[in-house]
Amino acid sequence: MLRLEKSDGNEIAMGVFDWQTTLTVECYARATPGTDPATAINNLLGEVWTRLTEIVPATTPADIQIMPEINWQYDDTDTPSGSALIRLIARHRTTSNTLSAP
């Protein structure tokens, strides 16, 4: 799941804004009862991480950086589950009359 966390903008000159947008990628996985939920979430997290690192900045109107921080959480109920959160920062520029890149 991808969530928009926040966008901070600064006017740099003559109505041009530089934005720093923080996005969170949330990964959720369930494990078979009696198994370690870390295995299920780590497999999914590995796939997501690979895809995120393949984003080519030249093909997007933004500079995208992966923050070197992952937050894990486990729930050991009847059906064990886990989650991992990765934060991304996208830096992009707009003019004052639109939120689209020039």
Give the pLDDT of residue 101: 63
Give the pLDDT of residue 40: 85
Which segments in the chain show pLDDT lower than 50? none
Give the pLDDT of residue 102: 60
- For the entire predicted model, the pTM comes to 0.70
| pLDDT tens digits, 6-16 | 988 887 777 78
Q: Which of 97, 20, 7 is nearest to 63 (CA)?
A: 20
